[in-house]
Amino acid sequence: MKKQNVILIILVVLLAAFPLFTQKGADFGGSDDKGKDMIGEINPDYQPWFSSFWEPPSSEIESFLFALQAGIGAGFIGYFFGYMRGKKVGAEEICQ
């Protein structure tokens, strides 16, 4: 692996971990909770018109499903770019 790639990976990990160490006791909640709280402040009588048909049994399972969705999406994007790159390289080899 190139030295430049290793340095970039280390920088990304440090950038992701930095808030966890500098913001002790901070609540890293999601935007869904913030939106719900703000709607409750603006209009306390608001009744949601939709509710989830399935609620995950725990926050760990919810996080797992979110990570799984992100992994599938990243895999699809990586496959697409790899396929397009291979297609381009293959076409260049045929032309030579």
Q: Would you say residue 30 has pLDDT above 90? A: no
pLDDT reading at 28 higher than 80 = no
Quote the Cα angle for 38-43-48, to 5°. 85
- The whole-number pLDDT of residue 21 equals 81
Average pLDDT, the chain: 86
pLDDT for 8 equals 92
| Predicted confidence band of residue 78 (pLDDT cuts 50, 70, 90) | very high
- Residue 72, pLDDT > 80, answer yes
Q: Is 96 strand, coil or helix?
A: coil
Q: In the structure encoding, which two tokens stand for residue 11, read together?
A: 């920088």
* CA neighbor of 83 nearest in space, from 93, 71, 72, 91: 91
Task: Show the tokens assigned to 32.
Answer: 């869904």
How far, in Å, CA of 45 to CA of 39, rounded?
A: 10
Q: How confident is the model at residue 71 (pLDDT cuts 50, 70, 90)?
A: very high
> pLDDT at position 70, please?
95
